[in-house]
Amino acid sequence: MMAGEELPTKNPRTRGPNLERNVDPNASGSGPKAPPPPSRLDEVRAKLSTPLTPGADPTTIEADLEAHRQLLLKQTEELAAAKRHMEITQREYNRAHGLTPGGDDPSRAGQIRRRAATLAPRSPATALLRRLHPRSNPSTTPPTRTCARHKPPQKS
């Protein structure tokens, strides 16, 4: 450090007005933020988008390509390991919470609906519902009231 430079000090105050926190009062808190650092994918994409330098030594180009191939191979192995770990975690979670896997088989929704339609007329619950809610079954007429107070109207 040169003479006259101040040492950076850590401000112990994280709360309170700006003057107590040694913050520049003219700075706005909602100003533009620095962009996040590039991800590994962005770095690889940038490296792949740069063309080979024409007239360069073929041995250096070959060495660069081989190094980049090794890097891509390592990253694909890391990605495959992360995918396997995620699948294992998902299976454990589903098993612990009683969820069943979706499977790769085609949907059986149509078969289940047809089977339910053939079973529904024979089910005791359906018969009970038809008795309780006769209007839902258009083939039956509503029941007549036989209470002494509410006699059905006499037809003459």
pLDDT at 137 (0 to 100): 47
Structure-token match 């083939």, residue found: 139
Q: pTM of the entire structure?
A: 0.39
Q: Which residues of 73-97 are buried (b: 16+ CB within 10 A; e: fewer)?
A: eeeeeeeeeeeeeeeeeeeeeeeee
CB 136 within 8 A of CB 130: yes
pLDDT at 18 (0 to 100): 57
Domain ranges in the chain? Answer: 58-98
pLDDT at 9 (0 to 100): 61
Amino acid present at 65: L
The token duo for 79 is 């990605």
The token duo for 21 is 């926190």
Per-residue pLDDT of the chain (156 residues; tens, 9 = 90+): 455 566 556 656 566 665 555 555 555 555 566 778 888 788 878 877 888 777 888 898 889 889 889 988 998 999 999 999 999 999 899 888 888 766 777 777 778 877 777 776 667 777 777 777 665 445 555 555 555 565 666 665
